Each structure stands twice: as structure tokens, then as C-alpha cells.
Amino acid sequence: MTDSGRDVVRLLREALGDRVDVSDGALEAARADKSGHPAEGTPLAVVHAASVDDVQTTLRTASAMCTPVVPRGAGTGLAGGAGAGGGEIALSLRAMDRILEVSPDDLVAVVEPGILNADLNDALASYGLWWAPDPASRAISTVGGNIATGAGGLLCAKYGVVRDAVLGLDVVLADGRLMRLGHRSVKGVTGLDLTSLFIGSEGVLGVVVGATLKLRRLVPGEVHTITATFAQVRAAAAAASAVTAAGIQPSIMELMDATSLAAVHELLRLGPPAAGAQLTIQTDGPAAAQEAAGIAAVLREHGGRTEVSRDREDGEHLLAVRRSMHPAMESMGTTLIEDVSVPRSRLAEMFDEIARVEAEYGVVIPTVAHAGDGNLHPNFVFEGQDVPDRIWAAAGDLFRAALRLGGTLTGEHGIGLLKRRWLADELGEDQWQLQRQIKAVFDPLGILNPGKVFAP
């Protein structure tokens, strides 16, 4: 550790006591998220912030010493965004996990950033309320992390993503100033929308220390779950697009291709799958039965073999197959989990591109998709820890294909460390420069999560 590194840790220790953790275990854990791509080197310390004051103290100290700070929620990110490396301070928000207010009349909750998504929703259920963003990691990821990544989930085609569910944010800037952004009224257009700017900003603009969330009432009535199997993934993708085009709005529409189905079936010991692709679709609310019947008809017209279940618990079991994708991939080797998104009508073409890339690069790319919103997770599986050049080349080809189809590099996981080199391809040179200038306004010393999103 350098002298200045030692000085920073000493200053933080004097101010924050044992909330500054330099144990080997904590430092090692702070290097990584769930992407499998840890930061280089070991951070100076992990600060376990317990209050807004702690966050301000950390950032004032870091600014004074020009020391990088990496904000961190639960470390479940898949883009390498939360990893803190050599010479950096990891700032964990996980201990700031209180619900400060629930207002059923206003459909608003005010929370600290470290609360887990599922814990928040468990607490809200007793009010008959919920916060809609539902990443598959909801049991293990924080609301602050969900906001910083702009997370999505299975239900977002119908109920929206994080961006649709946040009214205001309290943020601490790099120099330690606390800002209250946004509003708690339904409407609000005063000044520039800095709340939206912070959503999905991956810790490079400031630290989210509080959030005013827009809630929904729990949906009453039945849940219907349709499973539809297809011989080919292209047909399943075309059928999913046809459901969207028919104007029927499922709450969940998930697609699994043959390889991902086989991997999950093996993990769950379900025997070999009988189909080349599967859609699992849910409808909810008062029109659930009618919508399920309409969707099943569209799927059959497109060659699907359908089954409909009216039992909520049964529906959860059927979705468990989809939710087991991540552990199933882990059992196959090291995985680069990708996250492209295309307009919903282009889903089948994106699967054609995946097949082309598989053939051209000699790789297998098990893919699942949130077909209701056009967000695909192609998984590149390989041996060893480092992503081989051949895999990066295949991934780069796939990203460019998504852009050609009018899509985007990342639907919900973010740019982090892993996709920095393609950022300018999507944004174009002028916007890329403008975004860097915006970052510099919020963080002139460049100490917030340096090297993430924007390449150094």
C-alpha cells in the first residue's frame, strides 16, 4: 500500500471507526461481482456506511485525497461494475437498509439503498402494495443497486422497469454534497430530470443514499400460466412477437432455447426436454383467463403446443425452470452472460444472428429471453477464468448485430467493465464525448467508479 493509501485509511478510520474494514475476506469480496470478472489488485478498505453522514464523510475524505471510490450494493451485478481494485475504496451501502416511510395513500415508499428488493416487497405486501421491478436476483440484490443499474425483470413488459418506478433520489456527489432530486408527487417537471440521469448511471455520477419509490397495489385475481413448446427457437420467437402484435399484454413472457432448456432440465433432473424451445407466459388481473385463452390461440397458430395452468403455485413451479438458468449455466463452465435488447418484432431475426455467430465462431450460446420486451441473454460458455479472444470476437459480432436490428448493447445489466469498448459504437462519437463531459461535471476529479462505463 502506498503512503497516500495508508493516509486515506487512517483518516477514514479516525472518522468512521470499525465501519472501515480492512480484513482480507472483506477486501477480497469487494473486488468482484457476479460477472466473474474481478477488478485488478486489492482495494484499500471497505467502508460499511451506516448513514448518509458516513457516505458524505467517505466522499469528502476521498475527494481531499483524490482516492477512487466504488459504490457497492450486494455485488450481484453482471457487468463488473461493483468491483473495487488496487488503490480504491469500496463503499458498501448494504447496511443502510431501512424503510423510512410507506404511504399507501400516495403509493410511495421512501427507502435507504441497501435494502434487498425482496425484503422491501415482503414488507410492502402487508400494505397490499409492491414495488414492481423484479430482477431474477430480487432476493439477493439491493434497491440501490437496482436503481444504479436500471434493472429490469420478468414482469417489466407489463409493469415497467426501475426507470418507471422511481420518483426521486437522494444522492451524495463526489465532493460530499447531498442532493435531493425529483419529487414525490405523481407529476413533476421542474428543471432537468436528474433523477432519470442517475438511474442506470452505475455509480459513476454519485452515490444513491435514498430513494422515493413509486408503488403499485398488489394485483388481485387469478394468475394463468401458459407453456408452449416449439420445434425451433425461431418459431418460438416469432410466436412471442405475434403475441405482442396481437395487443394482448402478458405479465411475463420468457423464452428458452434448446441448449438452455437441456441445461436446466439436467440441473433439475427433469429428464431430456421434449422440445427445441419453450415459451412460459403468465397473465394476471381480472382478465387473466380471457387473455390466456387469446395468447394460447396465437401460439397454436404459430405451431406451439400449449398447456394452460390456472394454479398460482403451479405457475411458480413452471417459472422455476426459467429462474434456474443462472445456476444451470454455472454448472456448464465459466459463463459470459450477455444482455442485448432488440425491438420486439425483431426477436426471431436476433435468434438467426445468434445461430450465425455460433456457426461462424464454433461456440455454443445457450440463450434465454425476456421475450415480452425483446431483451435476450445469450450465454457464452467457456473453460478457464479469462474470456478467450475468440469469445470476445463472437460477443462483439453479436453486439453489432443487435445494433443493426435497432437494438442496444445492454437491456438491463449495464456497461460496467465488460462492455466499455463497444459503448461508442452505440452512442456515436458526439454523444460519447457529451456523456463523458456530463460525468466530469458531477465528478471533476474522476474519483467515482473510475474505468467503469467509460474506458480510461
Ligand X SMILES: Cc1cc2nc3c(=O)[nH]c(=O)nc-3n(C[C@H](O)[C@H](O)[C@H](O)COP(=O)(O)OP(=O)(O)OC[C@H]3O[C@@H](n4cnc5c(N)ncnc54)[C@H](O)[C@@H]3O)c2cc1C
- Residue 359 vs 441, nearer CB to ligand X: 441
Q: Between residues 72 and 302, which has the closer beta carbon with respect to ligand X?
A: 72
Displacement of CA 245 from its chain's centroid (Å): 26
The angle formed by the CA atoms of residues 310, 315 and 317, to the nearest 5 degrees, is 140
In the bound state with ligand X, the residue whose beta carbon lies nearer, of 82 and 298, is 82
Name which of 42 and 146 has its Cβ closer to ligand X: 146
Q: How far is the CB of 97 from ligand X (least distance, A)?
A: 11
Residue nearest to ligand X (CB): 145
Asked if residues 127 and 150 have their Cβ atoms less than 8 Å apart, the reply is no
SS3 98: coil
Placement of cell 443493426 in the chain: 404
| Least spacing, CB of residue 379 vs ligand X, in Å | 12
CB of 377 to ligand X, least distance (A): 8
Contact between residue 70 and residue 90 where contact means Cβ atoms under 8 Å apart: yes
Q: How far is the CB of 125 from ligand X (least distance, A)?
A: 20
Paired strand residues for 125: none
Q: Which is nearer to ligand X, 141 or 306 (CB)?
A: 141
Other CB atoms closer than 10 Å to residue 371's CB: what's the count? 27
Least distance CB 79 / ligand X (angstroms): 7
Amino acid at position 216, single letter: R
Least distance (Å) from ligand X to the CB of residue 136? Answer: 4
Q: How far is the CB of 372 from ligand X (least distance, A)?
A: 13
C-alpha pair distances (Å), 419 with each of 56, 119, 217, 369, 450: 30, 31, 37, 19, 14
**Minimum distance between the CB of residue 293 and ligand X, rounded to whole angstroms?**
28
- For residues 223 and 288, the answer to whether their CB atoms sit within 8 Å is yes
Which of residues 134 and 284 has its CB atom nearest to ligand X in the complex?
Answer: 134
What residue ranges bind ligand X (CB under 6 A)? 33-34, 70-78, 81-82, 93, 113, 135-137, 141-142, 144-146, 148-149, 151-153, 202-203, 207-208, 326, 412-413, 416, 449, 452
- The DSSP-derived string for 224-255 is EEEEEEESSHHHHHHHHHHHHHTT---SEEEE
Q: Which is nearer to ligand X, 135 or 315 (CB)?
A: 135
Q: Which residue, 224 or 377, has its beta carbon nearer to ligand X?
A: 377
Q: Specify whether the CB–CB gap between 46 and 70 falls below 8 A.
A: no
Helix (H) or strand (E) holding 297: helix 288-301
Measured from the CB atom, is 208 or 238 closer to ligand X? 208
3-class DSSP state of 407 = coil
Measured distance CA(394)–CA(408) in Å, rounded: 16
Could you tell me the strand order of the sheet in which 89-92 lies? 20-21, 45-48, 89-92, 69-72
Are 160 and 132 in contact by the 8 Å Cβ rule? The answer is: yes
| Shortest Cβ 164–ligand X spacing (Å) | 13
